[in-house]
């Protein structure tokens, strides 16, 4: 395959022994120059496809990272100089004539990405950083993700529709970026935190199956898996059930994994939200390793030991068999306390006179029978360590779940892919200060068909028709079957404390739309930055974003955000309050 045109006949990395004798013109950057005696130089010429060696008369006016055009003839490398580590290692370019297209000052860091560079410097010179192999690979991988999504969804009958960037608030829980209006001074658009409402309106509009590779903005603190702006595959479909959404998304995910990892994945397994919390202590369990939390309330509660007087007692067999040192154990105990538990008990399983016993400050409270039941329940052997948290269910599971993750870290690698659907989320996520339930997903989510009767009497017990997709302990995305009836939507607004007037002024257009024949519909969105990062083996989404922001929301290359002058502010009807 050669698409090369214009100033060149071929790409560097594509030449091989099949091209011997061909006259070629190549363009790229000088990767390295090795002078050979007084008269000869070997130059590694690099473009995005790879490197090729040019043999040329020695010149003193060339430097690394100069941009050049080289003409010459493809020739076999002499016996003994073949380099098996690069694709073009059997050939070189003879009689290379070099034309300088652009010179280069000394770079702030080497393009060789085996050399570590501080991230702030990489971001300050991002245009050079993306010249490096890793960023080239990552961004191209990301493009494969996008094209796989398009291929898969178009084959499944989805139509891509672009929705506005200048939009109106959506109640999805994130803080939104405001954009002042010049033509309507004092009024603001918001940048969409997702196309949620727009895509529901597309369903009312008869679009049937919509998708978009959508840019979303959320003014939230930045983290390894979160930037202000991110991209998600957003989809919505009419006359569908949760099963259909799983099939649509499953198809796109399978295509992504195939093109980026060259592996076929089986059907994505499912777990209820309750099981995820109960067994792993999080709603996004990392299933690359098993080690579930085990309920041992029945074994430990009857002992009457103070440390175990709590409604729920959960135990974890440490996923790694190591001899935990005193300081490591103390650190884990501190961590458990910082996470909100009263403590973290541990039991080292040891062999004592032909039977298993515990080594632990609490061992004296456990007779032989409970000791052996605990060991048996956990399936522990000599050398293992068991950790125990006794507390309210939520605290016991979440704290021990975090300890599980910390201990399991060394067992997992980016080569494994453990997907799971989490289903049957609660509709509400606790109560706000005024005692009103808070929507767990967003207020457009349909309650679970079996739980409608508890909406008013016991709202926290109501499950929803919403689902998350989890990969390797990261939440890739969420979705739900939506409410399409105005009466149910009004009821939900009323339960969460949005008055009729408020609902009308904020989402009147949506409630109106539902009055004019809204099909039942549902959808999903997953983060492309996140899946692209995992597919590229990265821990931080910045590594798959061309021009990301730092943790503090800055762009060290452009210096954004920057002040603007008073006239510009006045144009949009704003004046700055004096700095405190
Ligand atoms: N709008 C939701 C989100 O951005 C996804 C969905 O419900 O489709 O998380």
pLDDT digits (tens, 9 = 90+) for 232-242: 999 999 999 99
For residue 523, report the distance from its CA to the centre of ligand 1, in Å: 8
Q: What is the pTM (predicted TM-score) of this model?
A: 0.93
Mapped onto helix, strand or coil, the DSSP state of residue 560 is coil
Nearest CA to ligand 1 atom 4: 194
CB 446 within 8 A of CB 514: no
For domain 133-264+524-569, give the CATH number: 3.30.930.10
The structure tokens 């073009």 sit at 88
> pLDDT digit string (tens) for 14-41?
999 999 999 999 999 999 999 999 999 9
For residue 229, report the distance from its CA to the centre of ligand 1, in Å: 15
Beta strands in 373-520 (DSSP E): 385-391, 419-423, 428-431, 437-439, 466-471, 474-481
CATH domain 289-411 topology: Gyrase A; domain 2 (3.30.1360)
Contact 524 CB / ligand 1 (< 6 Å): yes
Contact 525 CB / ligand 1 (< 6 Å): yes
Pairs from 247-251 (Cβ < 8 Å, separation ≥ 24): 248/153, 248/156, 248/158, 248/209, 248/524, 249/469, 249/477, 249/479, 249/524, 249/526, 251/152, 251/153, 251/155, 251/156
Contact 248 CB / ligand 1 (< 6 Å): no
Q: Ligand 1, from 478, 482, 526, 527: best to mutate by most atoms within 8 Å of Cβ? A: 478
Q: Ligand 1, from 169, 174, 196: best to mutate by most atoms within 8 Å of Cβ? A: 196
For residue 468, report the distance from its CA to the centre of ligand 1, in Å: 10
Average pLDDT over residues 539-554: 96
CB 461 within 8 A of CB 497: no
Contact 480 CB / ligand 1 (< 6 Å): yes
CA 198 to CA 194: how far, in whole Å? 9
Q: Ligand 1, from 442, 465, 527: best to mutate by most atoms within 8 Å of Cβ? A: 442
For residue 199, report the distance from its CA to the centre of ligand 1, in Å: 10
Sequence-ordered list of residues with C-beta below 8 angstroms from that of 8, at least 6 positions apart, any chain = 24, 25, 26, 27, 69
β-pair type (209-217, 159-160): parallel
* pLDDT on residue 2: 55
Q: Which atom of ligand 1 is nearest to the CA of 194?
A: 4
For residue 539, report the distance from its CA to the centre of ligand 1, in Å: 23
Count how many Cα atoms sit within 13 Å of the Cα of residue 55 in the half-sphere of its side chain. 14
**pLDDT-based confidence at 506, cuts 50/70/90?**
confident
Radius of gyration of the chain (CA): 30
* pLDDT on residue 171: 77
Distance from chain centroid for Cα 83: 38
Sorted by where each begins, the domain ranges of the chain are: 12-102, 133-264+524-569, 289-411
> pLDDT digit string (tens) for 92-109?
999 989 999 999 999 999
For residue 448, report the distance from its CA to the centre of ligand 1, in Å: 18
For residue 162, report the distance from its CA to the centre of ligand 1, in Å: 16
**pLDDT-based confidence at 4, cuts 50/70/90?**
low
**Mean pLDDT rounded to a whole number for the chain:** 95
CATH domain 12-102 topology: OB fold (Dihydrolipoamide Acetyltransferase, E2P) (2.40.50)
CA 139 to CA 146: how far, in whole Å? 11
* Residue 307 confidence (pLDDT) above 80: yes
């Amino acid at each position: 395959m050669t698409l090369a045109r214009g100033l060149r006949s071929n790409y560097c990395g594509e030449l091989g022994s099949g091209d011997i004798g061909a006259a070629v013109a190549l363009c790229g950057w000088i990767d390295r120059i090795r002078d050979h005696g007084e008269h000869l130089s070997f130059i590694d010429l690099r473009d995005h496809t790879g490197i090729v060696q040019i043999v040329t008369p020695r010149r003193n006016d060339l430097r690394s990272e100069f941009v050049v055009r080289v003409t010459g003839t493809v020739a076999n490398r002499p016996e003994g100089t073949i380099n098996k580590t690069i694709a073009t290692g059997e050939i070189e370019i003879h009689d290379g004539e070099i034309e300088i297209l652009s010179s280069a000052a000394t770079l702030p860091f080497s393009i060789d990405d085996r050399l570590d560079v501080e991230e702030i410097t990489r971001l300050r010179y991002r245009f050079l950083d993306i010249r490096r192999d890793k960023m080239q690979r990552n961004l191209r991988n990301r493009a494969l993700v996008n094209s796989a999504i398009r291929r898969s969804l178009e084959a499944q009958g989805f139509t891509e529709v672009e929705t506005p960037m200048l939009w109106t608030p959506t109640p999805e829980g994130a803080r939104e970026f405001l954009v002042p209006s010049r033509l309507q001074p004092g009024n603001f658009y918001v940048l969409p935190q997702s196309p949620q409402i727009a895509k529901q309106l597309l369903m009312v509009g008869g679009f049937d199956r919509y998708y978009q590779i959508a840019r979303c903005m959320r003014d939230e603190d930045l983290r390894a898996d979160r930037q202000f702006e991110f991209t998600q595959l957003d989809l919505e479909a009419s006359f569908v059930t949760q099963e259909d959404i799983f099939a649509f998304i499953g198809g796109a995910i399978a295509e992504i994994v195939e093109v980026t990892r060259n592996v076929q994945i089986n059907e994505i397994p499912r777990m209820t939200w309750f099981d995820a919390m109960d067994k792993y202590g999080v709603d996004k369990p990392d299933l690359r390793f098993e080690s579930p939390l085990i309920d041992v309330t029945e074994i430990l509660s009857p002992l009457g030991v103070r440390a175990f007087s709590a409604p729920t007692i959960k135990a974890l067999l440490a996923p790694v068999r190591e001899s935990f040192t005193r300081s490591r154990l103390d650190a884990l105990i501190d961590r458990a306390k910082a996470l909100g538990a009263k403590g973290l008990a541990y039991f080292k399983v040891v062999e004592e006179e032909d039977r298993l016993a515990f080594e632990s400050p609490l061992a004296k409270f456990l007779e032989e029978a409970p000791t052996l039941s605990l060991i048996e329940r956990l399936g522990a052997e000599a050398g293992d360590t068991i950790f125990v948290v006794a507390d309210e269910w939520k605290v016991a599971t979440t704290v021990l779940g975090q300890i599980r993750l910390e201990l399991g870290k060394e067992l997992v690698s980016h080569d494994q892919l453990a997907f799971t659907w989490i289903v049957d989320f609660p509709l509400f996520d606790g109560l706000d200060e005024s005692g009103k339930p808070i929507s767990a997903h967003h207020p457009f989510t349909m309650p679970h068909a079996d739980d409608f009767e508890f909406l008013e009497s016991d709202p926290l017990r109501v499950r929803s028709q919403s689902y998350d997709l989890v990969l390797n302990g990261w939440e890739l995305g969420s979705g739900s079957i939506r409410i399409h009836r105005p009466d149910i939507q009004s009821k939900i607004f009323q339960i969460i404390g949005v008055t009729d007037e408020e609902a009308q002024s904020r989402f009147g257009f949506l409630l109106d739309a539902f009055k004019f024949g809204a099909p039942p519909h549902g959808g999903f969105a997953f983060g492309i930055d996140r899946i692209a990062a995992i597919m590229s083996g990265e821990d931080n989404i910045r590594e798959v974003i061309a021009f990301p922001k730092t943790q503090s929301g800055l762009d060290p290359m452009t210096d954004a955000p920057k002040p603007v002058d008073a006239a510009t502010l006045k144009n949009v009807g704003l004046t700055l309050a004096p700095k405190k």
